[in-house]
Amino acid sequence: MSDEAVGGDALLAATAEAAAPRANVLEVTPLELGGGERIADELQHWRLRRDADGVYWALLDQTGTAANTLNEPVLEELERIVERVRSDRPPGLVLRSAKPAGFAAGADIGMFRGLTDPVRVRELVERGHRVVNALADLDLPTVALIHGHCLGGGLELALACRYRFARRDASLGFPEVQLGLHPGLGGTARLPALVRPDEALKLMLTGRSISAERARSLGLIDAVAEERHFARAVQLAVAGQVERRGGGAAVRGMTLGPARMLVARQARSETAKRAREEHYPAPYRLLDLWERHGGSVDDMLRHEPASFAELLTGETAQNLVRVYFLREALRGRGKGRPSAIHRVHVIGAGTMGGDIAAWCAHRGLVTTLEDREARLIAPAIARATELFERRYDDRRARQAAHDRLVPDPSGAGRRKADLVIEAVPEDLELKRRIFGELEGQVKDGALLASNTSGLLLQDIGQGLRRPERLIGLHFFNPVARMQLVEVVRHPALDPALLARALAFVLELDRLPVPVQSAPGFLVNRILSPYLLEAVLLLDEGVAAERVDAAAEAFGMPMGPAALADQVGLDIALEVGEGLRATVEPTLPEVPEWVRRKVADGHLGVKSGRGIYEYEGGTRKKRKAPESADPAHIDRLMLPMVNTAVTCLGEGIVDDADALDAAMVFGTGFAPFRGGPLHYARERGPEALRRRLEELAEQHGPRFRPSPYWSRVFAAAAGEPPAAPDAPPAAPPQP
């Protein structure tokens, strides 16, 4: 480092004052990078150029993708570039992306699918390590120029460079933990050597991304710079005139024995609050690595591949990778033509309508919100204000979202809307009346949607002149948190409008799953037997905490007693009764004490008392956690699996993957188990069927295996699909 070294802040000033900029690859065409001398023709995914100073620029531009990801071909070519740099010895090497989306979005997750052999995975990872280590070992200035996403493997490449400069729009992070992994290309070793290990671990354990500014303050990058200053920043770095921010004595001190153990202990106890080791091992393996080897970067680098390979070939990571692709598949259903919906009108400003309208405004749509009186709209606007406060730092953007949400007690917005969403109480006559009125008011191409959670679209649409433009858009509560939307179709629906509705849900940044209009649709139908079984366990005298502990031990984010309180005992009772009267005749009656609670107004969280007691929406006096009884786990979870089989058999949903995805994103069904049908396949359909028969003998016919059991699992095993045993349940009338 020269005597004139400058820090990141000074760098900005220095570059701003820099002498007349010379023609440079970046200044010629910032992202297309057409300038400079091209010096390698044989590369598919990188472009290698030499600028006027002789510095090599390796520009990542993966073929056939909008965002760069790291896979074997990309790394192989990088290896060739590094070899070339080693023999040509240019004054410096720059790594950056030629794609507007960002530096690199991480590993190509497709590579992770179906890997079962840890030895082979370890070899693959070690090969990747050799490339990244060779980059890190170059004894000339290497600079990563970062914009947009710089995640996972992308950040690991940047970490292997000597300098990192980022544009203000950069977002950096290690999301691997969300896939049941920890970083695998040297990140676990290089990050804690650069930024304070407690902060480094937090980044890797939570998977959260950080802004360029935050990354600079942590020492992860050396400077935040404007695009126009990048070229000068490279010149200064190559000249050794940039002071690096990361590392230092404070960081090193925390890697030493006792300090390291303390950091690990604290991180372990934070982790234990969020995830159980038996469900999500990755954070714990990362902490093991750090505890045992964190004193030496080389040691960490040596041990990372084996730990990564164990995780990647384990059940949790494989199922989380599966869930990643399930989400992509749901998103795929909404892709294609845009919805052409720009104005939305929502009728009913209650819990759901108010929040749906706020979310639409947040997503950029002009949204009018109607209720019977202006005062009934006010609470929804107040909630929207809170949502916008949380979502926008920028005052003008927040105000713009506000301006898009228009209280409309007179219903003037009905005539201008491209989509009307009805969210009035669950009353068939009321809904029919409203859609009847709407037919004469809305524009010709407008879509009419109901947020009903259980009424059949065929019934709501009865008497309409054009029932083909009525659809169900079943949002879940709370709208801002729940990603799934059931898009409910019925025989009269126009398929073109279904496609528009699916696109609209995706434009709202929600996940659409098409389902048939049958009692309970999909998610509530599958969830009801689970909630009912919990109530029956309570009826047998099992403590609510113990019932919830069983579901949590399985991996549910919340036990069924807590969930019933959250949904509202009144609503859970109504849905359960409706299903028993229609499609689920083997369900027993809901115990009398539940009816009494509902009659007395003890409805759950919303009334301050249900199965548990609440104060300000939070549970009062929590008892010490109860241990889970494995028999309870089966009693709670297998009815869900069994009903899932029936729903697939009845054709309520198109395929098993859509069903699994709906349960993961609509109810939080243990993601690391990959969905209820996948869980059944992993545990063994035949063993499960026998277990259900055993439970039926002990507890009654509600446990009898679904009549669709063999057909569903034979199809899953790749046998040709048999003719349906029975036509999809003709939706019985409630």
Name which of 309 and 594 has its Cβ closer to ligand NAD: 594
Name which of 52 and 412 has its Cβ closer to ligand NAD: 412
Looking at residues 178 to 237 of the shown chain, list those that interact with ligand NAD (rule: CB under 6 A). none
- How far lies 481's CA from each of 105, 387, 502, 658, 668, in Å? 24, 11, 19, 20, 11
Looking at residues 451 to 470 of the shown chain, list those that interact with ligand NAD (rule: CB under 6 A). 451-453
CB 446 within 8 A of CB 418: yes
* CB 443 to ligand NAD: min, Å: 20
Q: State the number of binding residues for ligand NAD (CB under 6 A).
A: 20
Q: Cα torsion at 322, 323, 324, 327 (round to 10°)? A: 130
Whole-angstrom distance, CA of residue 657 vs CA of residue 659: 5
* CB 403 to ligand NAD: min, Å: 22
Among 176, 371, 565, 570, binds ligand NAD (CB under 6 A): 371
Among 93, 205, 352, 611, binds ligand NAD (CB under 6 A): 352
CB 661 within 8 A of CB 675: yes
CA angle 456, 459, 464 (to 5 degrees): 130
* CB 410 to ligand NAD: min, Å: 11
Name which of 159 and 352 has its Cβ closer to ligand NAD: 352
**Is 360 a binder of ligand NAD (CB under 6 A)?**
no
CB 501 within 8 A of CB 473: yes
* CB 376 to ligand NAD: min, Å: 5
Quick check: is 719 catalytic?
Answer: no
* CB 423 to ligand NAD: min, Å: 4
**Is 350 a binder of ligand NAD (CB under 6 A)?**
yes
> Half-sphere exposure (CA, 13 Å, Cβ side) for 297?
16
**Is 558 a binder of ligand NAD (CB under 6 A)?**
no
Q: At what angle do helices 230-238 and 8-17 cross, to 10 degrees?
A: 110
**Is 666 a binder of ligand NAD (CB under 6 A)?**
no
Report the residue number whose CB is nearest to ligand NAD: 350
* CB 476 to ligand NAD: min, Å: 6
* Maximum C-alpha span of the chain: 86
**Is 471 a binder of ligand NAD (CB under 6 A)?**
no
Among 178, 351, 458, 607, binds ligand NAD (CB under 6 A): 351
Binding mask 330-349 for ligand NAD (x = CB under 6 A): -----------------xxx
Task: Find the catalytic residue in 77, 176, 552, 584.
Answer: 176
Please name the residue that has the structure tokens 């990372």. Answer: 304
* CB 135 to ligand NAD: min, Å: 52
**Is 353 a binder of ligand NAD (CB under 6 A)?**
yes
End-to-end CA distance of the chain: 79
Name which of 123 and 427 has its Cβ closer to ligand NAD: 427
Task: Find the catalytic residue in 32, 77, 123, 156.
Answer: 156
Among 33, 423, 515, 692, binds ligand NAD (CB under 6 A): 423
Whole-angstrom distance, CA of residue 552 vs CA of residue 533: 15
Among 65, 178, 477, 607, binds ligand NAD (CB under 6 A): 477
* Residues across the chain: 734
**Is 358 a binder of ligand NAD (CB under 6 A)?**
no
Quick check: is 422 catalytic?
Answer: no
Residue 143's beta-bridge partner residues? Answer: 94, 163
Whole-angstrom distance, CA of residue 291 vs CA of residue 346: 54
- How far lies 629's CA from each of 4, 552, 622, in Å? 68, 11, 19
Query: For the purposes of burial, counting CB atoms within 10 Å of the CB of 718, is it exposed (0-12), middle (13-18) or buried (19 or more)?
Result: exposed
* CB 568 to ligand NAD: min, Å: 7
CB 564 within 8 A of CB 606: no
**Is 667 a binder of ligand NAD (CB under 6 A)?**
no
Among 51, 222, 370, 650, binds ligand NAD (CB under 6 A): 370
Pick the piece of the chain touching ligand NAD (CB under 6 A) from 350-358, 456-464, 582-590, 601-609.
350-358
Whole-angstrom distance, CA of residue 495 vs CA of residue 516: 13
Among 53, 61, 426, 468, binds ligand NAD (CB under 6 A): 426
Tokens of 665: 């994103």
* CB 612 to ligand NAD: min, Å: 18
What DSSP assignment string belongs to 218-273? HTSSSEE--GGGHHHHHHHHHTT-B---S--HHHHHTTSHHHHHHHHHHHHHHHHH
Q: Cα torsion at 393, 397, 401, 402 (round to 10°)? A: 80
Name which of 65 and 477 has its Cβ closer to ligand NAD: 477
* Positions that interact with ligand NAD (CB under 6 A): 347-353, 370-372, 376, 423-426, 451-453, 475, 477
- Residues with a catalytic annotation lie at 156, 176
